[in-house]
Each structure stands twice: as C-alpha cells, then as structure tokens.
Structure 1
Amino acid sequence: MALSLDIVTIGVPQVEAARAFYTSLFSTSAVAITAAEDGHAVTTRLDLHGTGQLALHRMDALAADAGTDPAASDPAASGFRGYVLSSIVGGPAEVRALLDAATAHGATVVKPAKKQLFGEFSAVCRAPDGTVWKLAAAAKKDTDPVPDPPRPTETAVFLGVARPKASKMFYEALGMTADRDYGDKFVDFTLTDGVCRLGLLPRKALAKDAGVDERGDGFSALALTHTAASRTDVDALLAAADEAGAETTAATTRTGAGAYEGHFTDPDGYRWNITTPA
C-alpha cells in the first residue's frame, strides 16, 4: 500500500471548452464523461498517453465537493493557485511545438520557450481555464524527428508548500519514496508507470520558476486522486494520513457510481481523494 497520483483534477469554468483545449494540445481522448442535468458535462477525464490522467471538473461542482461555498469559489485567475502542472516531452523542438499548439488554442505565454539558467529547456503558459503549465524537454538537444503532435513522456504536479522537508515526511508516511531530494529547495517522488509525478517546492520558489507572482488566494481548483485496490487500502491510507497530520475532510462513503472513497487535505491544504474503482 503506497500513495500514488493517479488522477489530477482541475476546476474549469466550462468542461466542454476545457476538453477541446486539452484534447487539441495532447491529442488524447476522453475516457469518462458525466453529464449534468442540463445536458452539459460536469466532469470529463483524459488519458495523458500513459503518464497519468487529467480530470476536468466544473468549478462550482468541484468547490461543492471540497466543501467550499460555490458562490465564493472563483479562483484567483490572475494570481497564483499554489501549484504548477508540467508536461515533459522529448526535446526542445517538441516544447516549441507544444507551446505553439497551446497558444493556437487560447493559452497565453508566461515564459517563452528557451534554455533556462541551469540548462533546462522549457516554457510556461497559462491555459484558458487559468491553470499554469510548464512545458519542459527531457533532453537538451533534439535527436529524433519531432512527432506530430508531441506526446508527453511524463506528467508532473508541483505543489508550492511551506517546507518541502516537512511535506516529504508526510508523503513518505503514506508510502511514497523520495527520488530527488534537495532538502527545503526541492523534493520529488519516484515515478511509477501510468501515474503523474509529485514534486514539492517552496511556494515562492515555485512561482518564480513559473514566472508568476506568488500572490493569489481563493479556491485552488485542484484535487489529487489515488485509486486504491480495495476498501481496506482506502481505510489504511486515510488512517496513515490522519496520523501523519492530515485533516480528514469527509468520512468514507460509497458513491453513486459504486466506489468507496474518503478525502483528506495534506498539511499544506492540498486535497486528496482516496477511492476504489467504481
């Protein structure tokens, strides 16, 4: 039993528009759709070519799920939500191609594609829904023809936290294993096939790396999901999180889709859903 980041859920104003943007960007397709009573989608889930899944949830519904007043859940669209999503592709040319595709479909450039201070080739853009994305190259030089479209080799979520060392201890208590550990500067966790990587940076440093102002408040519009193998594993992870200092935000329950799930927020306030498959 170990925590993994199987699904990243972001709140969006309109699910249909966000689905069109992300399917155009990543050339992927929806794997699950739920319709609202008015006929418009409440949530859709996209497979990121085996590097995890991205769920798009209508903002007011995600806020209600998190116990936040939907009427007061407008995200700080011009501010920093406290996290950055990242798509890692093969080389610099793929970063440029991905950024071009993003801007062609409504994203705004925060940092242009170029070699950064420590040799990393990357770019940063803000999606039409307000989410900040860092696009980075795994290699410093292009060695193969650029695939059309580029496909991610890794998807990551970087959380802005108070102290990465303290947050690392919390996640290790839930079975995660640190990969690169630079103390209170940067920590990330070992990646397994089919899931997203989780990384931790001080909030100010993460905002600086992304090229945005660190200020921002309001609803973060983010939920992280681990799919457990059984109800026993759900209960065990929730108990481990509680003992490690998490705040349990909802008791375990069986959903209408048949899944068994519970929720907690980590010591920095990020929401996790622990669930069994429906």
Structure 2
Amino acid sequence: MAFSLDVVNFGVPEPASAREFYAATLSPTVEDHDRYVDLDLNGAGHLALYDVEALAAEVGAGSEPVAAGFRGYVMTFIVNQPTEVRSAVDTAVRGGAELLKPAKKALFGAFSGVYRTPDGAVWKVAAATSKDKGPATGPAVPTETSALLGVADMKAAKAFYEALGMRTDRDYKHYADFHPGPGACRLGLMPRRTLAKDVGVEDGDAGGFPAVVLHHRAASREEVDATLKAATAHGGRAAGGARESADGYAAHFTDPDGFPWKVTAA
C-alpha cells in the first residue's frame, strides 16, 4: 500500500479572496467547483480552498474554533533562484500577507523568505542557491511543494507515516521527509518548536481546528479501509468509520499530533 499527500485542503474564511491570493502567488491552474476551488500547481502538488466552517464540519471539528497563532505546520515551495523568492514574497505581501522573514540568504547557501497568508497559513519560499542564474522571466512557479508538520516525537511520527505506506527519503535528527508521489506534495516532519523558530513565529499551543486537512486519494475502497485500520493501530484517531461522501468512499482520521487527514476512493 503506497501513501501520498495528494491534496492540501485549506479552510479559508473568504474563498473568493483566497482564490485571488493563491492564484497570484503560486501561478496555478485554477478550477472552480461547487464546494471548493482546485489549484493545480502544474506537477508540483495540488491545493484546494474550502469554506473553513464546511471543512471543519467535514472532519468532525465543527464545534472547534479556528486555531489562532501558529497552527503547527508550514507549507513550503521551491523556486529556481533568489529573484523568484523575492518576487513571490513581494507578491504575497502586496496581496495582504504578513511578512514573517524577509527574503535573504539562509544557511548552506540557500535563499528564503517566510510569510503568513491572509487566511493564517504560514508559507516559506526558498531557492537552493543564493546566486541568480539570470533575470526573472515571469511569475515565480513552484518546482516542488511540501507540508512540514511540527511534531512532538520525531520517532513516533515517522513510524506512523511509514506504517501508512510512506517511504522515508531523508532522515536527520531534527528533520525527516518522505518520497512524494507523482504530482503530489512532499510531506516532512520537524520538532514543533524547531519548526516555529525556523519561520519566526511563537510556539504557543494554538488549539482548535488548524484550518487544514491533508488528503490522500486511494486507488480503492479496500485501500481506504486498510489505511484507516493502519492509522488507528499506530497512534492515530479515527473520526468515525469509512462512509459514502461527496468525494466518494471516505475515511477521516488525525495523526498522533492531531493533524487531520481524509482518504477517499472515487
């Protein structure tokens, strides 16, 4: 059983405004649906924008307030050179984002900047080099996206995702990630406090619904059932059993650190 992060679903208070913001900052292919907006990052992952109250209700968190402050995760995207990092950060700030760290040279020759979107998600944009290869030819386009989860126990979190079928790529003391599926987002793990420090935010326990649901698209109903069984056997918590939904046959659970997931089979 393979497992991948196929879509990152964001709960936003104003979907129309969020649609405009993400279209400007990530250069996606945008497709509007009745319940959500699909953002195809052209081979570098998928995002979806939902009304935050509807998304919370879907995963059984409808009675929880939306988390204030740091929500425990950071989205990242990679671009080719520093001028694209600056362009992406500047575009985000013009669109209403809060600048958390200005675009500048980082450790080991990389270049990065961090902002918080108007709907509260923290994003880090980075290039692997601190030297431009040439002038920017257009809007920054992600070459890879990742969801970094702040966890309490790296060993336990890594074991949980391996039990779901993920294959570890890099594994260090304060960072681990998994091989992404084709066109999917990369999933990474960091100690929560380390992750908060990296992006320049306070590590207070925000509590409440994190306004994000991670989504795996399964190949069959049997895979949905097997994934839910593996999740609950390795420290996750099911939000009810698998059932029919607007997305097909679906199951919802949280990982050991409380991050919500849904697994669907069309």
Superposed pair shares fold, TM > 0.5: yes
When residues 161 and 260 of structure 1 are mapped into structure 2, their CA distance, relative to the original with a 3 A threshold, is same
> Residue in 1 aligned with 2:10?
10
Matches within 5 A, 1:201-220: 201-215=190-204, 216-220=206-210
> Residue in 2 aligned with 1:39?
none
CA shift, 1:32, in A, is 4.3
Residue pair 2:5, 2:181 contacting (<8 A) in 1 also? no
Do residues 182 (structure 1) and 172 (structure 2) align?
Answer: yes
CA shift, 1:26, in A, is 1.6
> Within 2, Cα distance between the matches of 1:192 and 1:59?
27
Matches within 5 A, 1:30-179: 30-34=30-34, 42-70=35-63, 72-76=64-68, 79-179=69-169
TM-score, normalised on structure 1? 0.91
Amino acid in the other structure paired with 1:11: G
Do residues 254 (structure 1) and 244 (structure 2) align?
Answer: yes
> Within 2, Cα distance between the matches of 1:131 and 1:50?
22
- SS of the counterpart of 1:11? strand
When residues 126 and 244 of structure 1 are mapped into structure 2, their CA distance, relative to the original with a 3 A threshold, is same
> Within 2, Cα distance between the matches of 1:111 and 1:100?
12
**Runs of at least 5 residues in structure 1 that lack an aligned partner in the other structure:** 35-41
TM-score, normalised on structure 2? 0.95
Identity score, percent: 50
> Within 1, Cα distance between the matches of 2:115 and 2:169?
26
> Within 2, Cα distance between the matches of 1:69 and 1:225?
18
> Residue in 1 aligned with 2:228?
238
Amino acid in the other structure paired with 1:186: Y
**Runs of at least 5 residues in structure 2 that lack an aligned partner in the other structure:** none
Paired residues, number: 265
Residue pair 1:80, 1:217 contacting (<8 A) in 2 also? no
> Residue in 2 aligned with 1:38?
none
Residue pair 1:60, 1:73 contacting (<8 A) in 2 also? no
> Residue in 2 aligned with 1:27?
27
Amino acid in the other structure paired with 2:200: G
Q: Root-mean-square deviation (CA), in Å?
A: 1.4
- SS of the counterpart of 2:48? strand
When residues 110 and 232 of structure 1 are mapped into structure 2, their CA distance, relative to the original with a 3 A threshold, is same
Post-superposition Cα deviations, 1:121-155, rounded to whole Å, max 9, x if no partner, equal: 10000111111100111333222442311110000
